[in-house]
């Protein structure tokens, strides 16, 4: 078996054992209003509402050396970091729809459709 073929065969197993990639999850700091949804696949928040969330890698806290940032395509909502790298406050600024780019250590990890609902 060639060395390249062996590496190609073993790499997925090592990735599985070590945990490759980033498995984005959110945990709300408090019970959100019923219309609020913050998940890896959808964000819905009402205009004028702020919600604190903890960013997780799957079910585990993110590594303190991991830098996660959120970049909305439109300024209808904002993500403000806190003094703790895993905690953010999400603000609904004005009604509309946008997409939020998720960057992990500077690399684009995913994008989340987002909607800010009117009051």
43 touches 114 (CB < 8 A): yes
Alpha-carbon torsion angle 49, 54, 58, 64, nearest 10: 150
pLDDT tens digits, 66-117: 999 999 999 999 999 999 889 999 999 999 999 999 999 999 999 999 999 9
pLDDT surpassing 80 at residue 18: no
pLDDT at 110: 92
Q: Which stretches of the chain are DSSP H helices?
A: 3-18
Domain ranges of the chain: 22-117
pLDDT surpassing 50 at residue 62: yes
**Region 28-37: what's the mean pLDDT?**
82
First to last CA, the chain: 64
Q: For residue 82, what are the contacts with CB-CB under 8 A and spacing of at least 6? A: 52, 88, 89
The CATH number for 22-117, chosen from 1.10.1200.10, 3.40.50.1480, 3.40.50.1980, 2.60.40.1080, is 2.60.40.1080
């Amino acid at each position: 078996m060639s060395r390249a073929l062996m590496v190609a065969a073993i790499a997925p197993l090592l990735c599985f054992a070590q945990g490759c990639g980033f498995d984005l999850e959110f945990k709300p700091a408090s019970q959100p209003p019923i219309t609020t949804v913050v998940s890896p696949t959808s964000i819905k928040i009402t205009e004028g509402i702020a919600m604190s969330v903890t960013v997780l890698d799957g079910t585990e806290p993110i590594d303190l050396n991991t830098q996660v940032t959120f970049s909305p395509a439109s300024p209808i909502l904002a993500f403000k970091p806190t003094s703790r790298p895993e905690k953010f406050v999400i603000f609904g600024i004005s009604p509309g729809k946008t997409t939020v780019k998720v960057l992990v250590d500077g690399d684009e990890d995913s994008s989340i459709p987002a909607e800010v609902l009117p009051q």
